[in-house]
Structure 1
């Protein structure tokens, strides 16, 4: 499921200081963690099988977690965890799944640049004569536009991997399944800019501290 133009151009440009994009870059420098192919901010706590030690989300994120939760995406629960990822041209992320620590829905708000999100079949655990390469497991792509909200759930969340190739330019193919709704065409070449994504999720198992609950 892909909802396009979730944030209108007017909302983005009312005032630079209020822009969500700017709020991301006003976060304290220690919030950034550099990884291979991207850097990120973690908000809400660190998910853990024993329970996430919950941290209060800042107001500038709460506005969007509450709006997205109101869509019913988390089965009546409210999102409590946000990963802010920054991808510069040429950066990406290997095919992966989000795993069992989250409610089986992931929502991603995209700012800045577009990207192509690729989907793959998982590696088969049984022996096969055919090599299970990334190319052979590739299924389809989505053109994720800026200011769009992407909602992945059900089979697309549970059974398939997703990733982003680290390229500076995307060449659209017939495997991009949402071309008709984006106005783009097969063969179009789309240079990438810097993209900031807010991955908003609900972590069911949390540990609340007395400080967060307002107790002394």
Structure 2
């Protein structure tokens, strides 16, 4: 059995059949030592690298995605090795390699509104969670012209050090979000990946949030080595 076969079997073992295609959830994808390294590196990043938003702050590595094309930049070695660790699982097609990392920092009580990753990216999103858990909520995209209040369909518990992979129907036809709250309640009915989690949880268990840092590793198909006028 070669290395590719072993990794492919691990990948298939962690696909979640209870939700639309597709979710792959791998607990303890990175070690505690690797998690500490990531957090230390991110905390030492110069302030100009951070973009401060109203509900979180973030860093872009590899460039800043734009409809006219992302001006490709080198990803630093400490981060590139985690990009490679994800890529080695053959998550992306053979002709596609991840070339962008979005780092988000969420303090307790912070979150993000329902959204999709959109057409700037190859339709596969992979996320490593560090520092704290969170719950990722999913809503079916509204395809009608009528204004509708999104209805929560299900949630995923993202443990620290885990890897989440989303693609296919969940990428194209669903929105995902993180609620702005300080703690989360486990639900046997709504939390669909409990059987794949690294720890055991009980129904209605309360989980207090800490500061979470996520590494969203994706492929931007349209890139350029030339500086473009991106203002319009």
TM-score, with normalisation over the residues of structure 2?
Answer: 0.82
Unaligned runs of 5+ in 1: 14-18, 211-216
Aligned match of 2:136: 117
Aligned match of 1:22: 40
Tell me, in whole angstroms, the C-alpha distance in 2 between the residues paired with 1:148 and 1:37: 23
Tell me by how many angstroms 1:175 deviates. Answer: 0.3
- Structure 1: which 4+ aligned runs deviate by more than 6 Å? none
Tell me by how many angstroms 1:209 deviates. Answer: 4.3
Q: How does 1:60-71 map to 2 (within 5 A)?
A: 60-71=78-89
Contact 2:25 2:196 in 1 (8 A): no
Equivalent residue in structure 2 for 1:59, among 64, 77, 83: 77
Equivalent residue of 2:48, what SS?
A: helix
Q: How does 1:53-92 map to 2 (within 5 A)?
A: 53-76=71-94, 77-92=96-111
Equivalent residue of 1:56, what SS?
A: coil
Tell me by how many angstroms 1:12 deviates. Answer: 4.0
Greater alpha carbon shift after TM alignment, 144-153 vs 59-68: 59-68
Equivalent residue in structure 1 for 2:194, among 179, 182, 198: 179
Tell me by how many angstroms 1:133 deviates. Answer: 1.1
Q: Does 1:3 align with 2:26?
A: yes
Aligned match of 2:165: 151
Tell me, in whole angstroms, the C-alpha distance in 2 between the residues paired with 1:39 and 1:75: 30
Aligned positions, number: 200
Aligned match of 2:116: 97
